[in-house]
A and B are shown apart, each in its own frame.
Chain A
Amino acid sequence: MSRHVPRLLAIGSARIGSILLALVLAITVLGPALAPLSPLDFIGTPFQAPNAHAWLGTDVLGRDVLSRLLLGGYRILGLSALATVLGVLAGALLGMTAGYAKGAADEIIMRLLDVVLAFPQIILALLFVSIIGPELWLIVLIVAGFHAPQVARVARAATLRVAEEDYIRFAETIGMSRLKILIQEIFPNILTPLIVEAGLRFTYSIALIAGLNFLGLGTQPPTADWGLMINENRIGLATNPWPVVIPVLLIALLTIGTNLLADALGRVAFGRVEAGSDEAGRAARNRGPALPRADSAGVAEVQA
């Protein structure tokens, strides 16, 4: 992967993506240390406009918006990352098994995953949360569960290609165990498409978790959280728009940044872009396999 970095940064959209991602990451990581006030203290009347004491005004319960913003990011990022990693690992294992085993095992695994895919995500999440309750681990598992089938498809397609290679035949002739072939021989060789897919999945995780939080199914009040803030403060939009506008903006920047970066990574990894030329970027766009582009529709949907 490291050999892709210079070529990656030669692409304009990758540079923009990394700047956006770095900006939001800086806010979430440094935020807790920089927050001027406690996110839970009531410091004044609700929906105060920005002033010297509260730079971005107060929220629905009269808490400091700036402090809540600075503290409300790391949880969503952490949960999204965790859900993405779990989903990608599970999907990769299922996809590799299906792609390498072929035949009946392939059919069974992939058709079961199709069933999971057939359910609308938010509805299914609603169902589980209403049965078990709004637990964070449950949110992570649900989001990971949504990703697994999609990742499995990508992993299976890549595995089908790699499994035809002679180094897999060699491993079979020396009697290497099937699990070892999956992990040692196939996995490193499908890593590139998997990483690209993981980037796109991360985008979806953020949107989905923010959406669940907005609906009140994830993080519970009074915890500071961007998704939750949007919901809580909708009613004060006319008086103090910042507790709604800024979380929306941050979530949008985060998803756009990740998406641009993942998309560029895919082009570099599959399109053989030469470093240092803008033309290379254009060339890559015109050739290479069509990659799934995370569209902003998903984001808009849950934020509406």
Chain B
Amino acid sequence: MTAIEALRNTAGQVTAAGLGLPVVTVEKLRVVLAGGDAAVVEDVSLDIRPREILGLVGESGSGKTTLGLAMLGYSRRGLAFGAGSVRIDGTDILAQSDAAKRDSRRRLVSYVPQDPATALNPTLRLRTQLSECFPNPAEATEARLLQMLAEVKLPADGAFLQRFPHQLSGGQQQRIAIAMAFAHRPRLIVMDEPTTGLDVTTQAHVLDTVRQLCREHDVAVVYVSHDLAVVDSLADRVAVLYAGHIVEIGPVRRVLQQPEHPYTRALIRAVPDLEGRAVIQGISGQAPDPRHRPAGCAFAPRCDLATEDCRRDTIAAHEIGKGHFVQCLFAGTPDKAAATALDRPAQTGTSSAVPVLRVDGLNASHGDRQILWDISLQVPSHCCLALVGESGSGKTTLARCIAGLHRNLTGSLSLEGVPLPVGSRNRTRELRQRIQYIFQNPYASLNPRRTIGRSLEVALLEFERPQRQQRRGRIIAALESVALPARFADLYPHEMSGGQRQRAAIARALIVEPTLLVCDEVTSALDVSVQAVVVDVLRKLQEERGLAMLFVTHNLALVRNIAQRVAVLQAGRIVEEGDVAAVLGQPQSAETRRLMQDAPHFDLGNPPTQQANEAGGVDPSVAMRASVG
């Protein structure tokens, strides 16, 4: 009890980061689908103070981006404001005329989009790009532009200003977008997943810059993200959105360590942890469509604790701690699901002497540029090897070499001792059947003009000619092995969610009964709760069928949940390889240590550890917590 009270006190003081009166006040905001009454955002009220960073978390379709954009007085095509107000510095931006709104956006608010590559005009030099942020061109002096670059830690010189966006890296582009957002000293900045496309190291640096600028310039920041770890390391407060409602809001440490809403808890259980104490758990069921939301609590159909009362009326928010509000009748009641300790066997079954996959001295190039240098690795039978590295390290190229999609290579590949020719067309039917590849993006890997059943059938018929009756049985069995009911055979990809599509793609690989599965970032396009479901399916398959698996990922935290062995790739070379526990427990190479350090930590239940960062400073939010702790 005392521990909880202590936490509450800490939480209360952390909120004091935002000083003074709220600069942004959202009241009873409702955003609806145009021409209907279906609400995408419903009854949202919140305040943000200057210098405060509010994290807005939720999964796809939760309304987090819609809410973020609403604070700019903007609604996307097909949406309209139904009710409520958004006041920024006292002006209700929703009630303004279009011209007044534009003026407000010039002075009061700004926006950092998710993908900086498409947000910057490719034909403008940075000088012109940055100058455009100033309503009055006279303000855009050379000195001011250089200062903008310096603020976001980019080289502040005239030559850099002469560059075009394509001459910058993704991280540098995002820094420019951030500099542009801060240029006119707005009161509020909405950031829509600005670090999603960046690798962990760049992400850590960009987050650090955001934090610093927000404090220096007294700006309120709304940070929209699906990544709890990022929000944990950046935000002061967090609001958890589900089906358009804020189901829980409060100081970030408190909400993430002592979550009270069943959805927040389930979400946290789905996040893989680098320290890897618990098995990640998915959330069963699916978030409701805005047009068919149930009465009462929207989470009730997926909730263990739900009773008739939950399904009757809209649930009001209760304050259960200082500044900590929960929209749940059972706030504080522990739910039934409990964390299962992670107990990944070192090997699932006895392996034979011959490794399933053997790569020897592999060099691969894209055109004249060499991507992979002298790669040698083995995937034993009954083993999952994770291949980790940051973007550009060559991990996908290696996976494609193995699947026969990348042909520009030298070196040798063999499958159970049989040499693998380069390129899938040069391989025998049997070799092609035994290696199956699962793609990163389930939105692109299934032919949109075919039902799932038909897609599976086409794959099966390339290798076997079973009777029609038998085919149907095989298709249903494959779907069941990835926990999809038989009715999915008659659905088209666009009728399914991302997670269901990815499971269907896995079923398509399994139906031909391969010995080696190559999974290329198969969960990176999915929400965490869905990622947990997909990883669970893969782990069970690997254990039950004794499949060999090559699991390519940039997410080090996921490795413990799926793999027995791990290889770390840096700039096309393997720098470390070994058992997962050993490599992650005592990393030997500098690259592994760096990847582990820069990954946003999400070690709940532990006191926050200090994260060193290259800028040399101590993470300000951590420092602040430490000072009050």
| Interface set, chain A 274-294, CB cutoff 8 A to B | 274, 277, 283
Residues B449 and A189 in contact, CB atoms below 8 Å apart: yes
Residues B437 and A165 in contact, CB atoms below 8 Å apart: no
| Interface set, chain A 147-195, CB cutoff 8 A to B | 165-167, 169-170, 172-176, 184-185, 188-189, 191
Separation in Å of the B28 CB from the closest CB of chain A? 28
When C-beta atoms are compared, the residue in chain A nearest to B450 turns out to be A188
When C-beta atoms are compared, the residue in chain A nearest to B493 turns out to be A167
Q: Is the interface of A mostly helix, strand, loop or mixed?
A: helix
Residues A175 and B439 in contact, CB atoms below 8 Å apart: no
Bound-state CA distance A169–B455 (Å) is 14
Residues B444 and A188 in contact, CB atoms below 8 Å apart: no
Stretch of B152-160, B192-200, B421-429, B471-479 at the chain-chain interface: B421-429
Q: Which residues of A contact B433 (CB under 8 A)?
A: 174
Residues B447 and A167 in contact, CB atoms below 8 Å apart: yes
Separation in Å of the A21 CB from the closest CB of chain B? 27
Residues A175 and B425 in contact, CB atoms below 8 Å apart: yes
Q: Which residues of A contact B409 (CB under 8 A)?
A: none
Residues B78 and A274 in contact, CB atoms below 8 Å apart: yes
Contact of B447 among A173, A174, A185 (CB under 8 A): A185
Bound-state CA distance A202–B421 (Å) is 48
**Given known A166-B445, A185-B447, A188-B449, contact A175–B437 (CB-CB < 8 A):** no
Q: Which residues of B contact A165 (CB under 8 A)?
A: 444-445
For residue B490, CB closer than 8 A to chain A, the reply is: no
For residue B304, CB closer than 8 A to chain A, the reply is: no
Residues B462 and A175 in contact, CB atoms below 8 Å apart: yes
Bound-state CA distance A169–B441 (Å) is 12
Q: Which residues of B contact A174 (CB under 8 A)?
A: 424, 432-433, 459, 462-463, 512
Residues B439 and A169 in contact, CB atoms below 8 Å apart: yes
**Given known A173-B403, A174-B512, A175-B429, contact A166–B462 (CB-CB < 8 A):** no
Bound-state CA distance A173–B425 (Å) is 8
When C-beta atoms are compared, the residue in chain A nearest to B78 turns out to be A274
Separation in Å of the B419 CB from the closest CB of chain A? 17
- Determine which residue in B35, B427, B439, B447 has the highest number of CB atoms from chain A within 10 A of its CB, and name it: B447
When C-beta atoms are compared, the residue in chain B nearest to A277 turns out to be B35
Separation in Å of the A49 CB from the closest CB of chain B? 56
Bound-state CA distance A191–B450 (Å) is 13
Residues B432 and A175 in contact, CB atoms below 8 Å apart: yes
| Interface set, chain B 390-427, CB cutoff 8 A to A | 403-405, 424-425, 427
When C-beta atoms are compared, the residue in chain A nearest to B432 turns out to be A175
For residue B448, CB closer than 8 A to chain A, the reply is: yes
Bound-state CA distance A184–B35 (Å) is 39
Q: Which residues of A contact B432 (CB under 8 A)?
A: 173-175
Q: Is the interface of B mostly helix, strand, loop or mixed?
A: loop
Q: Which residues of A contact B35 (CB under 8 A)?
A: 277
**Given known A172-B405, A175-B425, A189-B448, contact A166–B439 (CB-CB < 8 A):** yes
Q: Which residues of B contact A277 (CB under 8 A)?
A: 35
Residues B449 and A173 in contact, CB atoms below 8 Å apart: no
Task: Flag A251-273 by CB within 8 Å of B: 1 or 0 each.
Answer: 00000000000000000000000
When C-beta atoms are compared, the residue in chain B nearest to A188 turns out to be B449
Bound-state CA distance A128–B435 (Å) is 55
Bound-state CA distance A236–B512 (Å) is 75
For residue B95, CB closer than 8 A to chain A, the reply is: no
Residues B462 and A176 in contact, CB atoms below 8 Å apart: yes
Residues A173 and B424 in contact, CB atoms below 8 Å apart: yes
Bound-state CA distance A189–B444 (Å) is 12
Residues A170 and B78 in contact, CB atoms below 8 Å apart: no
Bound-state CA distance A173–B512 (Å) is 13
For residue B32, CB closer than 8 A to chain A, the reply is: no
**Given known A166-B439, A167-B446, contact A173–B78 (CB-CB < 8 A):** no
Residues B429 and A170 in contact, CB atoms below 8 Å apart: no
Residues B405 and A173 in contact, CB atoms below 8 Å apart: yes
- Determine which residue in A174, A274, A277 has the highest number of CB atoms from chain B within 10 A of its CB, and name it: A174
Residues A173 and B445 in contact, CB atoms below 8 Å apart: no
Bound-state CA distance A189–B449 (Å) is 7
Separation in Å of the A131 CB from the closest CB of chain B? 44
Residues A184 and B441 in contact, CB atoms below 8 Å apart: no
Bound-state CA distance A165–B436 (Å) is 17
For residue B339, CB closer than 8 A to chain A, the reply is: no
**Given known A166-B445, A167-B446, A189-B449, contact A173–B437 (CB-CB < 8 A):** yes
Separation in Å of the B427 CB from the closest CB of chain A? 7
When C-beta atoms are compared, the residue in chain A nearest to B404 turns out to be A173
For residue B124, CB closer than 8 A to chain A, the reply is: no
**Given known A175-B425, A175-B429, A175-B432, contact A167–B404 (CB-CB < 8 A):** no
Separation in Å of the A227 CB from the closest CB of chain B? 39
Contact of B441 among A166, A189, A191 (CB under 8 A): A166
Separation in Å of the A120 CB from the closest CB of chain B? 37
**7 extra A-B contacts, CB within 8 A, seeds A167-B444, A174-B433:** A167-B447, A172-B405, A172-B425, A173-B403, A173-B437, A174-B459, A191-B449
**Interface of B toward A, CB cutoff 8 Å:** 35, 77-78, 403-405, 424-425, 427, 429, 432-433, 435-437, 439-441, 444-450, 455, 458-459, 462-463, 508, 512
18 A-B residue pairs with Cβ-Cβ distance under 8 Å, sorted by A, are A165-B444, A166-B441, A167-B446, A169-B439, A169-B445, A172-B424, A173-B435, A173-B436, A174-B424, A174-B432, A174-B462, A175-B424, A175-B429, A185-B447, A188-B450, A189-B448, A189-B449, A277-B35
